[in-house]
Amino acid sequence: MLEAIINILSWLLLLAGGAFGIIGGIGLLRFPDFYSRMHAAGLTETLCAICIIFGLVLQAGISLLTLKLLLILLFLLFTAPTATHAVARAAMIDEVEPVLSEDSPRLVDYEDRP
């Protein structure tokens, strides 16, 4: 009985993770410019990864494998933002102009700020 509940929970988490991955992919295609697409990519590297790892943890049970899975998640959550930031900064230095709403300040205003 308990096993069935854990299995169903794990399936739900895996499915949710997959769904967020697909939604992130759709967002990657639908958003207008480079910077907003980064946010869509953010879906796949946060909740998608979290759901899939926790789904797998439920499958693995309490073991060394679980610890390894959680470590993978930890490293992913530490490195993914760093990579995103590096890409965003590279785009800014390369003067990729973001599509912005009218009431927002321009990106150029902040370049070369000490």
Interface residues with another protein (CB under 8 A) are 20, 23-24, 26-27, 30-33, 35-36, 38-40, 42-43, 46-47, 50, 64, 67-68, 71, 77-78, 80-82, 84-85, 88-89, 92, 98-101, 103-107, 109-110, 113-114
d(C-alpha 96, C-alpha 39), whole Å: 16
Please identify, using beta-carbon distances, which residue of 3 and 112 lies nearer to another protein. Answer: 112
Please identify, using beta-carbon distances, which residue of 4 and 114 lies nearer to another protein. Answer: 114
Q: Smallest gap, in angstroms, from Cβ of residue 1 to another protein?
A: 28
Please identify, using beta-carbon distances, which residue of 1 and 93 lies nearer to another protein. Answer: 93
Q: Smallest gap, in angstroms, from Cβ of residue 99 to another protein?
A: 6
